[in-house]
Chain A
């Protein structure tokens, strides 16, 4: 075997080494334990919750959670379609890319929405 094969092995091991502590950290975050980002993020989150008028302490069952998930996804879907079909006059488009056709916009939005980007 030559040196080329070392690359993937190093990548794999590095991922494992960084993944373990990250997993521990994620578990801590969601078990509502103290983590080092609390200083900045606690106020930020509180502000965002107040802005959105959401009570983040209230316990929900899974059906309620899935309804929320689908609703917010639907809002992004509509927003996405709007942006892609109107991008020629919207800001932050320095290259003046033209509007997408409806079927292309549909596909692009869906694929971003479902974490795929086909």
Chain B
């Protein structure tokens, strides 16, 4: 739990470093890291997680230092249920977009997420800081229009993923209807009755666009194209994104969009009065391409040598490939959810995903900070009539297109082999 606080604080602190680096004028220093880091915990994470924790306790989430409790289930079996400081755990797991649940079933577990009300609290808790960081950027730099643009692009991307997913999940699977089962509640396999399909689908996408990775339903059992939407959510990894790091990822795409649109209109690319030059673009490209590189190489290596994953795969064929792809995407996006058909506690999965996790985390933090840092020391060029505006909707569309191109071009082939093939096998 300590790590859940500090890792979230690391993300926030790194984002604040970027905020400082983007201040007006030419600066050689960007504030004090210890200061950012400690304040992220004492001023932001701790107070809010206490509030959320208390709300969860009143809704029935256990909070104790005692061990297992014996219970009798509805079927009359007697079982031992682990309890512990669950409420505190769950609060920070969402607030810090960590997503590691106290129980194996994560937020689908009745003690971790007892009611629809707690489901809403947990949902809001995981989205609130990524939202707030975007707005904080605007308030901090006194450029509220720009944060409006960023938030707008993120929201469009989010809605494009979440609306079709909710619709597909509520429609359900026709093959199951053909077997004579009532599917009026939608695709309920792997979902909890107390949340229903709409809220589960919303959670599924939200937890993947933000790097939370906590689940309140089993993603493996979603419809194939909903699974694809979750994969896309993690592949772009920037529609809101994790605490602090979401805005860092978005910053990379802004730099690329500034550069490309600068080339298109034949002007020197500038962002917030600083010239963007070869060095920044190189870093941005490395960071942007590293994410697909890790995912695709990881999946390809695994698929190429079946002895590596052994019996860990639950489904064969296209869906099995989706499971592998999902695992690596989730690792590289620092998400942490899984297609749980995959038994991932084996030597290969532990080590390979561990490796991917470390690389993808630190490169995507250091890269944007390095760009911002090098922009920070540059001479400030006042805005003129020739400056490309970076806070209007035209530029927003530009950023969106850059994100789509990078995600679509690098990931479409693998998506075609996994969820899309799965979809066509199912419908025919």
Contacts and interface: CB of A to CB of B under 8 A. Distances in A.
Interface in B336-387: 336, 338, 344-345, 347, 349-351, 353-354, 357-358, 360-362, 365-366, 369-370, 372-373, 376
Nearest to B364: A114
A37 B334 contact: no
Interface of A: 4-5, 7-8, 10-12, 14-16, 18-20, 22-31, 35, 37, 41, 44-45, 48-49, 52, 54-66, 68-70, 72-73, 76, 80, 92, 94-95, 103-104, 106-107, 109-118
A115 B245 contact: yes
Top 6 A-B pairs, shortest CB-CB distance: A23-B135, A117-B100, A94-B67, A62-B373, A19-B131, A27-B139
- By DSSP majority rule, is chain B's interface helix, strand, loop, or mixed? helix
B140 A31 contact: yes
28 contacts: A7-B199, A8-B166, A10-B120, A11-B120, A11-B202, A15-B127, A15-B131, A19-B128, A20-B131, A23-B135, A27-B138, A31-B140, A37-B43, A59-B31, A61-B29, A63-B373, A66-B366, A69-B33, A72-B37, A92-B65, A103-B350, A103-B351, A109-B3, A110-B354, A114-B360, A115-B98, A115-B361, A118-B338
A103 B31 contact: no
B97 A115 contact: yes
B213 A116 contact: yes
Interface stretch (B6-14, B223-231, B405-413): B6-14
A111 B354 CA distance: 7
Contact of A8 (B11, B162, B245): B162
B276 interface: no
Contacts of B353: 107, 111, 118
A45 B198 contact: no
Nearest to B185: A4
- By DSSP majority rule, is chain A's interface helix, strand, loop, or mixed? helix
Given A19-B135, A62-B30, A76-B6, A45 B39 contact: yes
B28 interface: yes
A113 B357 CA distance: 9
Interface stretch (B16-24, B283-291, B306-314, B414-422): B16-24
Given A26-B133, A45-B39, A5 B198 contact: yes
A69 B362 CA distance: 10
